[in-house]
Amino acid sequence: MNNKRMLVVIPLVVVIIAGAGWFFFLREKPIVYTEYAPGEHFVTNLKNSRRLLKAAFVFKLDTTNGKTIDTVFKANQPFIRETIIFILRDLDETTVETPGFHVELTERIRETLNEVLNTKHIVEVHLNDFVLQ
C-alpha cells in the first residue's frame, strides 16, 4: 500500500515544484518605463511659410530588458534631434491646423525613431509644448 501511495505522491510533488518554479522564474517581468526628453525645445520653420514652430517632446521608453537610456538614447541624441527637426520642417500650416494633428505627429515621430534607431523602446511620444508663431 505504501508503494501505491508513493506512486501518487511523487508525481504530485514534482508537479507542485515545477509549478512553483514556473511561477517564480518564468513568469513575465513587469514592464519598466522611463521618461526621456530629447532636449529642451525644437524650433523650425514650417514648409512654404514664414511661421515658426516651437515644440518639446517627452518619450515614454520601455526599459524592461535593462538597456539603459545612456547607451541607446543619450548616445544618439544629436541624430534623434535631427530626425525630429526634419519631421517638423516637413509640416505645413494646413497640416498643423488639422484636428487630430498632434496624435498623428507624435505617432510619426515614434515610428520613425524606432525604425531609424532599430529599436522598439519608444512606446509613446508626448507633446509637451507646441507653439506656432
Instruction: Going from the first residue of the chain to its last (133 residues), give the mean pLDDT of each consecutive group of 10, the final group possibly shorter.
Output: 70 77 69 86 89 92 74 85 94 88 94 91 91 86
Q: Where are the domains of the chain?
A: 33-132
Residue 55: the pLDDT is 93
CA-to-CA dists, residue 43 to 15, 53, 62, angstroms: 61, 6, 27
Architecture of the domain defined by 33-132? 2-Layer Sandwich (3.30)
CB atoms near residue 109 (< 10 Å): 22
pTM comes to: 0.74
